Amino acid sequence: MMILPVLCLALAGPAPTSAAPAAFHAASPPVAPARREELDALAEGIALARRRTPTVQVVEAARPAVVFIETGTEVRSRDFFGSLRARTFNGSGTGVVILKEGFIVTNYHVVENATRITVRFDESLDEAVYPAQVVSFVQSEDLALLKIEGEREFPTVPLGTSSDLMIGEPVIAIGNPFGQTLTVSTGIVSGLHRNVPIPARGLYFDDLIQTD
């Protein structure tokens, strides 16, 4: 309430006394260097916490269990002179560890007819390359189950349920498209219970989740 009279006096002319306004310019006590470092660290922590959105938290939690799959498929054919030649075609894809013993779910087309399958985790977490074997697959649903061996328990992503999904809910995809490891994209659930036939590959998917 004292500010208004002081401002009015400043506009009208010199104030009769400087005793009262002087109280508004009292110097703050100096902050000790150690205390200043603590305050700076606290401010930095608050700013970082605000940046760690739910999307970032999901990526940080799922990232250790997402794997990069590389395959080699050997094809033998005869050349122009009738000699048998072998050629190897390379491919790649994404998988996710669902059991700590090293069971990985991926798409069947990623490993179809592969003669060599290797699995790598995020190199910042695990630099090893693991040979993998196909233990089961359902071609009509484009699903395959792989198995890797290791001297440790592997990180996993817990399985959820799709029975209570709502259209409009956020979706986060983590994968390795075109060999670009650990790529993240976001979207929404845009549809439920979709049926998608792919006659050219003999596939028919029902009750799918549509995302955009």
pLDDT tens by residue, 104-126: 999 999 999 999 999 999 999 99
How far apart, in Å, are the Cα atoms of 36 and each of 28, 47, 50, 92?
A: 14, 17, 21, 51
pTM of the model: 0.74
Answer for the pair 97, 156: CB distance below 8 angstroms, yes or no. yes
| Cβ–Cβ under 8 Å, residues 6 and 23 | no
Tell me if 33 sits within 8 A of 70, measured CB to CB.
no
Q: Is the four-CA dihedral 72, 208, 62, 45 of positive or negative sign?
A: positive
Question: What angle is formed at CA 183 by the lines to CA 50 and CA 144, rounded to 5 degrees?
Answer: 125
Lateral strand order in the sheet of 183-198: 170-175, 183-198, 203-211
Q: How far apart are CA 47 and CA 59, in angstroms?
A: 19
The SS3 of residue 170 is: strand
Mean pLDDT value of segment 187-209: 91
Q: What is the band of 30 on the pLDDT scale with cuts at 50, 70, 90?
A: low
Higher-confidence residue of 4 and 75: namely 75
In percent, how much of the chain has pLDDT > 70? 84
pLDDT band at 31 (very low <50, low <70, confident <90, very high): low
Backbone angles phi and psi of 175, in degrees to 5: -165, -165
| Residue 32 pLDDT | 67
